Amino acid sequence: MTKHIVIGGGSGFIGDMLTIALRERGDRVTWISRNAGPNRITWDDLSQTGLPDCDAVVNLAGQHILDVRRRWTDAYRAEVIDSRVHTTRALVAAINEARNPPEVFVSTAGKCFYGTTEMEVDQATVDLDETSVPIGMDFPAELVGLWEAASEGVDTDRIRHIQLRIGVVLGKIERKSDIGKLWRIGRSRGFLPIIRLPFCLGLGAKIGTGRQPFPWIHVDDMVGVILHVLDRPQTEGRYNAVSPGIVDNATFTEAFARALGRPVVWSVPEWIVRAIVGSERSSILLRGQRVRPRRTLESGYRFTFPTIDVAMSDLVRKVI
């Protein structure tokens, strides 16, 4: 049976891939976007005319916190918060006011909910699942807390609510070569565009000590988890959208470099990371959370790419 799915932030990386998957199976998709266009409404439309009749809502809206092209200023900090919290509140209000509300609302936030601590041993050894409380508070954890709190206003007496906590999403990258000459850099989306240039130039590096946990997920599994919870009425509550094969930063770095056929020759000192991205958001790169998808696995989802090497073999392609 064809369903109508409304996606907040549908034009983003995950939203675009989810849209493709939904349409391939015959579902109808409407985006909520900043810009008007076919098969979409704007956030202003949502506030003025309400939510269109639909079977499910998935909210993926939010400004990228690690956009290194943007200096970490008070204005950008406020923009990041507003892009998550304000849009979520607007969507929850529209869902609650709908005469025919959707059956399910999937809200998303980040694995940063679990926080970080300066005591690196804790981050490397403590397993965190959907029932865990934060191990420490930093700005990313506070942001996710506000983000999730905004989603919790939805009327759960009428609407099934799923909260996904998402790890670092990895998308495909192609490396094109001129038959043995220098490789040109292909297109990619997700986390890999941030780091691909130095790796392709043979300057790949681990970050800081490299021992910080790195919760990641292949984009196909990210889409798969969303479809899984959309389609199963028995699912509700929190689920971690992270691969079961968590690695540390050094292992991830080596796997990516190996797939590209490039060396790892150095490490980026912590002070450089703080100087580039700012101290408040540097914990995203310098610290980490050993997040496990316990409830996700218990719900019956089976990861297509459970380990980093299997994921990299699919994500990185050399095209002659």
Query: Which range (93-97, 127-131, 266-270, 280-284) has the least confidence?
Result: 280-284
C-alpha span between 162 and 104 (Å, rounded):
7
Query: Taking the model in full, what pTM does it have?
Result: 0.90
- The reported pLDDT for the residue numbered 139 is 83
State the pLDDT confidence band at 81, using cuts at 50, 70 and 90: confident
Cβ partners under 8 Å of residue 64, min gap 6: none
Number of other residues whose CB lies within 10 A of the CB of residue 197: 11
Per-residue DSSP letters for 17-78?
Answer: HHHHHHHHTT-EEEEEESS--TTEEEHHHHHHH-PPS-SEEEE-----TT-TTS---HHHHH
What is the average pLDDT across 66-78? Answer: 80
- The reported pLDDT for the residue numbered 164 is 97
Whether pLDDT at 225 is above 60: yes
- The reported pLDDT for the residue numbered 189 is 58
Whether pLDDT at 182 is above 80: no
3-state secondary structure of 214: strand
24 backbone φψ class: left, alpha, beta (φ>0; ψ -120 to 50): alpha
Ordered by start, the domain boundaries in the chain are 4-166+218-242+291-303
Average pLDDT, the chain: 87
C-alpha span between 166 and 58 (Å, rounded):
14
What is the average pLDDT across 220-245? Answer: 97
Residue-wise pLDDT tens digits, 96-126: 999 999 999 999 998 888 888 665 545 556 8
CB distance 173 to 196 below 8 Å: yes
Helix-, strand-, coil-residue percentages of the chain, each rounded to 5: 40, 25, 35
Which of residues 63 and 303 earns the better pLDDT score? 303
- The reported pLDDT for the residue numbered 187 is 46
Provide φ and ψ at 276, rounded to 5°.
-80, -50
Domain 4-166+218-242+291-303 - what CATH class? alpha beta
- E strands of the chain, at which residues? 4-8, 28-33, 40-42, 56-59, 104-110, 127-128, 160-166, 168-177, 183-190, 204-207, 213-214, 216-218, 237-241, 247-248, 264-268, 290-291, 316-319
What is the average pLDDT across 260-289? Answer: 86
- The reported pLDDT for the residue numbered 178 is 45
State the pLDDT confidence band at 68, using cuts at 50, 70 and 90: low
Query: Given the structure tokens 């400004």, which residue do they identify?
Result: 63
Residue 248 pairs in a beta bridge with 213
What is the average pLDDT across 19-30? Answer: 97
Vertex 119 angle, CA 116 and 123, to 5°: 50
- The reported pLDDT for the residue numbered 88 is 94
Q: Are strands 40-42 and 28-33 parallel, antiparallel or unpaired?
A: parallel
State the pLDDT confidence band at 290, using cuts at 50, 70 and 90: very high
C-alpha span between 124 and 120 (Å, rounded):
6
State the pLDDT confidence band at 204, using cuts at 50, 70 and 90: confident
Vertex 8 angle, CA 280 and 302, to 5°: 85
Q: Are strands 213-214 and 247-248 parallel, antiparallel or unpaired?
A: antiparallel
Q: Single out the residue of 94, 81, 125 nearest to residue 8, CA to CA.
A: 94
Best mean pLDDT range from 183-187, 273-277, 285-289, 308-312: 308-312
Whether pLDDT at 165 is above 70: yes
What is the average pLDDT across 300-316? Answer: 95
